[in-house]
Amino acid sequence: MKDSYDVVVVGAGPAGSIAARTAAQKGLDVLLIEKRQEIGDPVRCGEGVKKMSIRRHIEPDYRWICADVKGSRIFSPNGTKVEMSESISGGEVGYVLERKVFDRALAYEAAMAGAEINVKTRATGLVIEDGFVRGVNLMHLGDEYKIRSKIVIGADGVESKVGRWAGIDTSIHLSDIETCAQFLVIGENIDQDYCHFYLGNKIAPAGYIWVFPKGKNQANVGIGILGSKSGKYRAVTLLSDFLKEHMPDAKIIEMVVGGVPVKGTIEKTIANGLMLVGDAARQSDPITGGGIINSMDAGKIAGEVAAKAISAGDVSINALNDYEKRWRATIGREIDNSLMVKNTFVKFTDEDLNSLAYSLKDVNFTSMSLMDLLYALFKANKKLLWDLRYLFKDVVKNEIDFSYRS
Amino acid sequence: MVVIHINRYKCGYCGACVGVCPSGALELIETWIEVDKNCTGCGICAKVCPVGAIEVKK
Ligand SMILES: Cc1cc2nc3c(=O)[nH]c(=O)nc-3n(C[C@H](O)[C@H](O)[C@H](O)COP(=O)(O)OP(=O)(O)OC[C@H]3O[C@@H](n4cnc5c(N)ncnc54)[C@H](O)[C@@H]3O)c2cc1C
Ligand code: SF4
Ligand code: SF4
């Protein structure tokens, strides 16, 4: 470790590794630090991603792909099934990843691009001078270090402190976080072709249960419930109840817990000399809870903006505003749309959910886009979903498709 | 004064509690949570914990 770098990236999840790789590819001198001793472990993820989105960043590699899924099935509280499968384009749907291997593959890419990486190295504070972030304080193997840098990128996940240290309040309200638990299970009859989702206020209050195939008779079975509904019932107990009822013979070989921000876009993700990316910037999707792709997209933008700002010799908040603008125009737009959907859905009773599912029973989905599903729902249930009309105002005009980012 | 107790035999070191603490009083080190003097005992972290590892001391 040197005393100074162009960029220090805090956190080697998908956001941090892509930011470090991008900045290093642009010729910057980059340090990527990770407080854990093993990158990618423990996992805090259901590991589902869209195929075409992952390809934006890395060539798919079967070392970190566990399952190739053909579609999704959603079950309403009374068991009414809505099925979405990709029948036309031949399996262009989703992967279930092995994040432990995937996160390391991304760190490998950052290293190969020239970034220096240090594990078991925790940021403990920022170096702030004249209103500018000018480096980080670190602890590595019990010793403290002060490292200077022109830019710090905070990619430190849901537990992010980097933003707070710079005066950006990233604390999440209980109604803006899904509290989650997940078991990796082995079982005889696990469908390896479809992702399954179970809705219902009894089984998962203001959230859902997912079953994502992981190959070889395995699946990630997880639950997310809204933080404000947690307390009397815990995510982990509700998940155990589900397993007892639906998969009584499943054997649990791993347990995962975690929180996913479902807050919508936050006010500010930059300061002089600082950018926040990924879960640290609360960029996960409020309806699906997916954050892998968003954090990689944000990491890439931040790496590019860092290179531009440093070569222009201006790392002020004005120069970094380019990051803010670019992520809000893409990821941010989707997050805000999803927030609208989340705010509508958390109010639904089980009866509402059943009647919504029932209204789709004759609809045949050929694409897995969530927006397609929502639009079909909206058309069939205008009264119940009237709050979502803003989402579709453009659709009605010109049948716009929502895949502007893929 | 620290008014919460974290059962480290239960905690899955996920960091959800750190994300919701309005006072920034928590930190996830590697496999454990540390609480500092800024804790007000509001109990928000105890609600969010997916396994119920946090208890607010009366
Ligand atoms: C149960 C669960 C299921 C999920 N399922 C899905 C899913 O199916 N699909 C999907 O797309 N998303 C899913 N998500 C969300 C997804 O996991 C996150 O959005 C994603 O990991 C965010 O990436 P990140 O790089 O921003 O943060 P992280 O992956 O959390 O990485 C942050 C890193 O920073 C490190 N760090 C933190 N503080 C410091 C510090 N002070 N110093 C040094 N290092 C530090 C951490 O140790 C960590 O390695 C799920 C989340 C949970 C909890
Ligand atoms: S939320 Fe609970 S399990 Fe997660 S780190 Fe905090 S105390 Fe541990
Ligand atoms: S009780 Fe409140 S102030 Fe104390 S650590 Fe928990 S959330 Fe933070």
pLDDT per residue as tens digits for the range A204-242: 999 999 999 999 999 999 999 999 999 999 999 999 999
**Protein residue whose Cα sits closest to atom 26 of ligand 1:** A278
What residue owns the CA closest to ligand 3's atom 6?
B45
Q: What is the pLDDT of residues A254-313, one digit of tens each?
A: 999 999 999 999 999 999 999 999 999 999 999 889 999 999 999 999 999 999 999 999
Specify the pLDDT at position A359: 87
Partner-chain contact B16 A174, CB within 8 Å? no
What's the pLDDT score for residue A392? 76
Spell out the alpha helix ranges (H) of A94-165: 99-112, 162-165
Residue contact B19–A37, C-beta within 8 A: no
Pairwise CB contact (< 8 Å): A179 & B12: no
Cross-strand bridge partners of residue A213? A219
Q: Which of residues 139-198 of A touch B (CB under 8 A)?
A: 157-161, 164, 170-174, 177, 179-181
* % of chain A residues with pLDDT over 70: 93
**What is the interface pTM, i.e. ipTM, of the complex?**
0.95
Instruction: Tell me phi and psi for residue A392, to 5 degrees.
Output: -105, 10
Point out the ligand 3 atom lying closest to the alpha carbon of residue B44: 7
Domain A4-44+100-172+265-342 class, CATH top level: alpha beta
pLDDT at A367: 60
Contacts B52 to A, Cβ<8 Å? 234, 236
Is the Cβ of B9 closer than 8 Å to some Cβ of chain A?
no
Minimum distance, in Å, between the CA of residue B1 and any CA atom of chain A: 21
The DSSP element (H or E) to which B56 belongs, if any, is: strand B54-56
DSSP string, A195-253: EEEEE-TTTSTTSEEEEEEEETTEEEEEEEEEGGG-SSS-HHHHHHHHHHHH-TT-EEE
Write out chain B residues lying below 8 Å of A230, CB-based: 47-50
Q: Give buried/exposed letters for A227-248 (b at 16+ CB in 10 A, else e).
A: bbbbeeebbbebbeebbeeebe
Mutation site, A158, A232, A256, interface B, largest B CB count within 10 A: A158
Mean pLDDT of chain A, nearest integer = 91
Q: Calculate mean pLDDT across residues A169-185.
A: 97
- pLDDT over 90 for what percent of chain A? 77
Rounded distance, CA B2 to CA A232, Å?
A: 24
Put simply, whether A255 touches B (Cβ < 8 Å) is yes
For the CA of A259, the closest atom of ligand 1 is 53
pLDDT category, A87, cuts 50, 70, 90? low
Q: Which amino acid is at A111?
A: A
**pLDDT of A397 over the 80 cut:** no
Q: Is B1 on the interface with A (CB under 8 A)?
A: no
The model's pLDDT over A5-44, given as tens digits with 9 standing for 90+, comes to: 999 999 999 999 999 999 999 999 999 999 999 999 999 9
Nearest atom within ligand 3 for CA of residue B35:
5
Q: Is A35 in the pocket of ligand 1 (CB under 6 A)?
A: yes
Q: What is the residue extent of each domain of chain A?
A: 4-44+100-172+265-342, 68-95+174-261, 347-391
Dihedral Cα A57, A29, A139, A145, nearest 10 deg:
-170
Domain A68-95+174-261 has CATH 3.40.630.180: no
d(CA A176, CA A180): 13
